[in-house]
Structure 1
Amino acid sequence: MAINDNVLIKIRDRKDSLTPVERLVAEYILANKEEIPHLSIKSLAQASKTSDASVLRFCKTMGYNGYRSFIVSISASLGSMDDEAGGQYTDIQAGDDLGTIISNVSRNNMRSIEDTLSVIDRGAVEKAVQALRASKRIVFFGIGASGLVCQDAEQKFTRINKICHAYTDGHSQLTAATLLERGDVAIFISNSGETPEVLEALEIARKNGAKAIAITKYNKSELSERAHILLSISTPEISIRSGAMGSRIAMLTIIDMLFAGVASADYGQVKKYLTKTHNIIAGKRRK
């Protein structure tokens, strides 16, 4: 169950990985959101040029037992989408003044976090925290912008005396995955879920018995299908001009959730490590 479920965001993110017939249903719903709660299953099937059975399959693909529960969720989602109407993702434009850029970047980052809260599974976060608490060591895998998230995660978990390391290039990832064992936790970070180096390391890690956690876009991908625990983010990258700004913020937020979850659950043990690491850095600042 998502923390703040919004089925319209889920449809938006899953659309490209649906079957051709299911995609017809998804596209019609997204283009005609306001009228959907008033349509019967037959009416939606006719409007989307599909069939009653296709609409029902689409509902089940999106995680609903039937059409009625799906429609109730659509109605609930419409209100929050209306609240966000003035806060759509905005790409970098030539000649934007600095005030506009400051506003747009801030709004995009906030929307990335809000949309991620709509798709992330609370139960999966709990499982990931438990796995990290029980782990012998933690290894993070990611390339490019995802590699920066790995480095942030390494810095955080090192502060509570967890044996961990971030690997951000293909060769070192293969070496690290080969040395993983049962009891280790490997976190694989990729927005697309199709990064070849990350997928290759994942396969090796699984064969060696390590627990595999994926942080990736809410969509059907190789990474989302093959990980033991899936932590989804929602943040459409608008174009190559925007780079990975939105996904990076969403991924960092999930890392913060995991770190805070582990630190809170084991606070009696980790408090001394947090205090020691804080004091040594604070001492450097005073010099």
Structure 2
Amino acid sequence: MNGGLVRLREIIDHITASERKVAEFILNDPAKMIGLSVAQLSQLSGGSQAAIIRLCKSMGLKGYQELMLKVAGDLQQGGEETQGYQEIRPHDSIDTIIQSVSNNNIQSIRDTLKILDVATVTEAIDAMCRAERVFFYGLGASNLIAQDAQHKFLRINKTSFSFTDPHLQLTSAVMLTKGDVAVAISYSGETDQVIGALQTAKESGATTISITKYGNSTLSTIADIPLFTCSTENEIRSGATSSRITQLNVIDILYLGVASRSYEHSVTYLEKSREVIKQLG
């Protein structure tokens, strides 16, 4: 059990001032909070006891004990196993850029693993296994993830769709039924067109899954099954970089989870698709 520090870092800009006092105290010296009662942490951090309980809820945890266990787990693994996210600076050498980009991508995947809930991922895979059709929705960089997902699932004979046109996304969402699954992908979780498609899919009776950054967002609130990723984007990036890597990683987890449930079936169709593609040279 770990991931307490990642969760705190991801939500710190979206919580109340009193909650932030507690979060900053823990992040600055995580070892100091281990073994403290709620009252003791309140006194040392300057945040109220009620704020500590609210902070745990903001993190999606059952209570203070779970927060302490997750932070303790991080410490046992050597903190956050991180060199920290590295900013790209003006006139960096190519070697520095190679190292920085690669380290940031690796760190994003490590952080995402700490917040992915196994039970929720299992629920998503179960829903996709049962689905007659799977629709992937995303805009911009997230649409590239949706197209990649469609490509993967089609190759194991799971009927799948993705659309670049947001109007088509919305139109298709109206046509969904109880036997379908809609997967909405948005790093912010606040992309209006994707929110509209998922909300419509849910109203149509489909099971809905979201893939967003960790924390409360409109998209994750709508979804029946919210999945979360972690990454840090900075000002110089005109498009998603490490966030794209974490989204692809989650899609791969879902794809292989579905494929493994019907391994022989999946392998048969993978071989068929591989052969026909090979004929194209």
Check whether TM > 0.5: yes
Match of 1:51 in 2: 48
Q: How does 1:102-117 map to 2 (within 5 A)?
A: 102-117=98-113
- What CA distance in whole angstroms lies between the structure 2 residues aligned with 1:56 and 1:175? 42
Q: Deviations over 1:149-177 (max 9, x none)?
A: 00100110110112111123321211111
Match of 1:138 in 2: 134
The aligned amino acid for 1:100 is: T
How big is the shift at 1:80?
3.4
- Gaps of at least 5 residues in structure 2 are none
How big is the shift at 1:94?
1.2
Q: Deviations over 1:238-279 (max 9, x none)?
A: 334363111100000011011111111111222221111111
Aligned residues: 281
- 1:16 counterpart = 2:13: yes
How big is the shift at 1:237?
1.4
Q: Which one of 42, 57, 70 corresponds to residue 73 of structure 1?
A: 70
Match of 1:28 in 2: 25
How big is the shift at 1:104?
1.1
- What CA distance in whole angstroms lies between the structure 1 residues aligned with 2:236 and 2:165? 22
Deviates more, 1:8-17 or 1:146-155: 8-17
Q: Which one of 181, 203, 216 corresponds to residue 212 of structure 2?
A: 216
- 1:187 counterpart = 2:183: yes
Q: CA RMSD in A?
A: 2.0
- What CA distance in whole angstroms lies between the structure 1 residues aligned with 2:176 and 2:63? 42
Q: Which one of 232, 237, 244 corresponds to residue 241 of structure 1?
A: 237
The aligned amino acid for 1:184 is: D
The aligned amino acid for 2:147 is: Q
Asked if 1 retains the 8 angstrom alpha-carbon contact of 2:5 and 2:80, the reply is no
Q: Which one of 68, 79, 82 corresponds to residue 82 of structure 1?
A: 79
- What CA distance in whole angstroms lies between the structure 1 residues aligned with 2:58 and 2:80? 27
Q: Which one of 170, 177, 189 corresponds to residue 173 of structure 2?
A: 177
Asked if 1 retains the 8 angstrom alpha-carbon contact of 2:212 and 2:229, the reply is yes
Asked if 2 retains the 8 angstrom alpha-carbon contact of 1:92 and 1:241, the reply is no
Q: Secondary structure at the match of 1:284?
A: coil
How big is the shift at 1:38?
5.6
- What CA distance in whole angstroms lies between the structure 2 residues aligned with 1:240 and 1:227? 31
- What CA distance in whole angstroms lies between the structure 2 residues aligned with 1:193 and 1:69? 26
Deviates more, 1:58-67 or 1:4-13: 58-67
Q: Secondary structure at the match of 1:214?
A: strand
Q: Deviations over 1:121-169 (max 9, x none)?
A: 1111111111111111111000111011001001101101121111233
The aligned amino acid for 1:30 is: L
Identity %: 42
TM-score by length of structure 1 reads 0.90
How big is the shift at 1:181?
1.5
Q: Secondary structure at the match of 2:2?
A: coil
Asked if 2 retains the 8 angstrom alpha-carbon contact of 1:5 and 1:117, the reply is no
Cα 1:121–1:82 change in 2 (3 A) is: closer
Deviates more, 1:100-109 or 1:74-83: 74-83
Asked if 2 retains the 8 angstrom alpha-carbon contact of 1:193 and 1:216, the reply is yes
- 1:127 counterpart = 2:86: no
Q: Which one of 228, 232, 245 corresponds to residue 232 of structure 1?
A: 228
Cα 1:214–1:64 change in 2 (3 A) is: closer
Deviates more, 1:203-212 or 1:73-82: 73-82
Asked if 1 retains the 8 angstrom alpha-carbon contact of 2:138 and 2:184, the reply is yes
The aligned amino acid for 1:142 is: G
- What CA distance in whole angstroms lies between the structure 1 residues aligned with 2:164 and 2:215? 23
Match of 2:143 in 1: 147
How big is the shift at 1:60?
4.6
The aligned amino acid for 2:42 is: A
Deviates more, 1:100-109 or 1:37-46: 37-46
